[in-house]
Amino acid sequence: MKSWFLACLMLLLSSAPVWSQKDDAAIAAQMKHLIDSISASYQYQTGEISLLNGMAQFTPPAGFRYLNAEQSKQVLEDIWGNPPGQQTLGMIFPANLGPLDSASFAFNIQFDELGYVKDEDADKIDYTQLLNQMKESSDKENESRVKAGFDPIQMIGWASPPFYDKDKKILHWAKELKIGEFPENTLNYDVRILGRKGVLSLNAIGSMNQLESIKNAIPDISGAVAFTNGNRYSDFSKVSGDKIAAWTIGGLVAGKILAKAGLFAIILKFGKLILVALLAAAAGIWRFLGGRKKDEDTASNFETHHHTNPETLNPESPSSDNEAV
């Protein structure tokens, strides 16, 4: 998949000599054509989808569609610029938006085989204190991010405070993040569905201005993903030797920020603007080449005009001042 992505970019850049002779509108049209071609390559699915070899199933609700794991990994790493090694069971996109749409958001599906997560501590957690711990950890982890060539991530606070539904065994919360010098803050909206052997993770990735849209979608999205019979939270059995997770509800909220994986576990939309930056750079190059071509044509016309018009060679000619302007 990555080779296909790079091939598209090489084709884009190799077209520069031709595009340099076109105006900005034509360049923009060609760029839009490439982006539309990449977007059209994604094969979305609707209807019932089996996850984890039948351990869970998902049926995209109305207004949403599913992108398989292979293509989702390519989106996360090559289009949105997250560090390599991203884990995904697929992504959920709005039906009318795709990975390259600035207005789009997506839910990344993952599974953590942690075991059975006890939820007795759900009502006892001081989430303000937990947030402060997460901020301290993020500051330390940013050194590693910067060394690896990624922007630092600053924890701003809760975009939506943690909430645990004891009946449905669903936990969700949202973080507001500042990425480097990006002018708009990033939103990570996390949903965790507890099961017998682990936790299904639905991580919504978007920008802060999409908070309400994502929040409104949470009930439909979380209700469309479920563990199958025998894998549900209620199916836990000590007699069967089921594993009890080392983490509790508070540990799920803190997540891998407090673990060794650090902030590389946070998934960002355009975390490193690979495609967008290259397109912007390419546009700048083409505009420069186009401008230089215009300058060369102007200089050529000026020289030709002066060589063919004898009056311009005579400094005493009354029309020489006008010609020099």
| Global confidence as pTM | 0.73
pLDDT confidence of residue 95: 94
140 CB-near residues (< 8 Å, 6+ apart)? none
Closest of 202, 222, 199 to residue 112, by C-alpha: 199
Would you say 104 and 148 are in contact if contact means Cβ atoms under 8 Å apart? no
pLDDT confidence of residue 157: 93
| Distance of alpha carbon 43 from alpha carbon 30, whole angstroms | 23
Q: Which two tokens stand for residue 86?
A: 């991203």
Tens of pLDDT along 209-228?
A: 889 999 999 999 999 999 99
- Helix or strand (DSSP H, E) at 64: strand 64-67
pLDDT confidence of residue 279: 52
Please state at what angle helix 24-40 crosses helix 2-14, rounded to 10 degrees: 160
**How many residues make up the chain in this entry?**
325
Tens of pLDDT along 153-170?
A: 888 999 999 999 999 999
> Long-range contacts of range 135-142, CB-CB < 8 Å, 24 or more positions apart?
137/257, 137/258, 137/262, 138/257, 138/263, 141/257, 141/262, 141/263, 141/264, 142/263
pLDDT confidence of residue 62: 94
How many secondary structure helices (H) and strands (E) does the chain include? 9, 11
pLDDT confidence of residue 47: 94
Amino acid at 218: I
Cα dihedral value 188, 266, 87, 49, nearest 10: 0
The DSSP line for 170-205 is EEEEEEEEEETT-SS-EEEEEEEEEBSS-EEEEEEE
Strands 153-165 and 170-179: antiparallel
pLDDT confidence of residue 306: 43
pLDDT confidence of residue 26: 72
Q: Which two tokens stand for residue 39?
A: 């977007």
Torsion sign, CA atoms 80, 85, 86, 89: positive
- Which residues of the chain are under the pLDDT cut of 70? 1-24, 27-28, 256-325
